[in-house]
Amino acid sequence: MYKGSCLCGKVTAEIAGPIESIIHCHCSKCRKNSGTAFSTNGFVLKAHFKITKGQNYLGEYETSPGKRRYFCKTCASPIYSASSTTPNYIRLRLGFLDSDIEERPKSHNFVNSKANWEVFEATLPHYEEHEPGRENFQQKTQ
């Protein structure tokens, strides 16, 4: 069981299952949403993700059709996104986690959108868009 909380602590959650397909996303939306060079995100089955406190503090913003980003209305911490293309999953913002995790990031994605000030010395694989295999999550339920 992993635990997470936002910056102000009003929103807390528990993650009962694995965090899959963790990547560093350098796309312009993740940069703006995170306020920094990239966002580190991973899939968690909706059935494994439970907001344990502060559901009423969750704000949401639809950044592209069918994709909503959820954040704490008080402190603005990004918490997760939900997309109509992966209806059984949420996509967790890993900065939200308080627990140490066993899973590790697999790649850097949307590297062509990276900020020109970012010193990019990463050794993980680089992809111009999503990593190979992302489409598997669109139908998967378990």
> Judged by CB under 5 A, does residue 82 bind Zn ion?
no
Size of the site for Zn ion (CB under 5 A): 9
Alpha-carbon dihedral 43, 109, 107, 44, rounded to 10 degrees: 0
> Judged by CB under 5 A, does residue 8 bind Zn ion?
yes
Rounded to whole angstroms, the Cα distance separating 39 from 29 reads 9
Residue that is written with structure tokens 């069918």 in the block? 66
Q: Which stretch binds Zn ion (CB under 5 A): 70-78, 79-87, 90-98, 125-133?
A: 70-78
Q: How far is the CB of 85 from Zn ion (least distance, A)?
A: 14
- The CA–CA distances, whole Å, from 77 to 9, 113, 117, 137 equal 10, 22, 23, 25
Nearer to Zn ion (CB atom), residue 7 or residue 47 = 7
> Judged by CB under 5 A, does residue 13 bind Zn ion?
no
Would you mind telling me the total number of residues written for the chain in this entry?
Answer: 142
Which residues contact Zn ion (rule: CB under 5 A)? 6, 8, 10, 25, 27, 30, 72, 74-75
